């Protein structure tokens, strides 16, 4: 027993040396062996593309910068085309004769209102002429069904105006904006981009 106790420190020293050598050899293998060989894990260096980091079972732990997955480009979103005056779809709502808010009840407004809509389908701008014509025809048929709603919005708004509020140029501009906002709010699937007055008489 005494002999064993005397040998125990030497045995432990030998075991420690063997473990230390094993760890060093393992680290050297991981660091210097080609990445094509199986390893318990792979070292990744900043700015370099490497293999995916794996565990002991070889399962992917994540994506490596520079890999095919990480290099996938995000989908490019085409910008919405800008429509200038006269390039949208025109809807003539006709001429309205409206009594203005007035104590005498004798003030009235006669106004012709045309709305210009942005094409609901942005692909309209890349269509050939025949497709554009067919699309615009379908749009006009659809808007004919919405015309009673649009006329109600415009008439209700005009009938709430006073002589003073619409007599000036600033008043007309404010009225344009109110018509545009209210139509867009009540018909959110469409977008009015301009409001035109083809006739505007206040008496």
User: pLDDT by residue (tens digit) across 154-165?
Assistant: 999 999 998 888
User: pLDDT by residue (tens digit) across 62-76?
Assistant: 555 555 555 556 665
Beta 89-99 vs 192-202: how paired, if at all?
unpaired
pLDDT at 164: 87
In the chain, % of residues over pLDDT 70: 68
Residue 200 pLDDT exceeds 80: yes
Residue 6 pLDDT exceeds 50: yes
What is the rounded average pLDDT for all residues in the chain? 79
User: pLDDT by residue (tens digit) across 25-58?
Assistant: 777 766 666 666 676 666 665 554 444 444 444 4
pLDDT at 165: 87
Task: Work out the average pLDDT over 161-188.
Answer: 92
Q: Which of 191, 177, 172, 186 is nearest to 91 (CA)?
A: 191
Domain 89-202 homologous superfamily, CATH: Band 7 domain (3.30.479.30)
Which of 43-52, 71-80, 136-145, 183-192 is the least confident region? 43-52
């Amino acid at each position: 027993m005494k002999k064993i106790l005397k040998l125990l420190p030497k045995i432990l020293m030998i075991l420690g040396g063997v473990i230390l050598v094993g760890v060093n050899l393992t680290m050297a293998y991981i660091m210097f062996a080609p990445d094509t060989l199986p390893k318990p894990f792979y070292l990744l260096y900043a700015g370099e593309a490497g293999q995916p980091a794996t565990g002991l079972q070889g399962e992917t732990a994540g994506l490596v910068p520079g890999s095919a997955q990480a290099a996938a480009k995000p989908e490019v979103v085409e910008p919405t085309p800008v429509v200038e005056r006269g390039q949208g779809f025109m809807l003539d709502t006709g001429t309205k004769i409206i009594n203005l808010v007035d104590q005498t009840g004798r003030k009235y407004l006669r106004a012709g209102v045309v709305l210009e809509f942005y094409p609901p389908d942005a692909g309209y701008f890349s269509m050939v002429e025949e497709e554009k014509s067919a699309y615009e025809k379908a749009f006009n048929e659809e808007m004919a069904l919405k015309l009673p709603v649009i006329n109600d919005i415009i008439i209700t708004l005009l009938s709430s105006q006073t002589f003073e509020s619409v007599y000036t140029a600033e008043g007309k501009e404010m009225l344009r904006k109110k018509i545009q906002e209210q139509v867009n709010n009540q018909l959110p699937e469409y977008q009015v981009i301009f409001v035109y007055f083809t006739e505007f008489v206040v008496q």
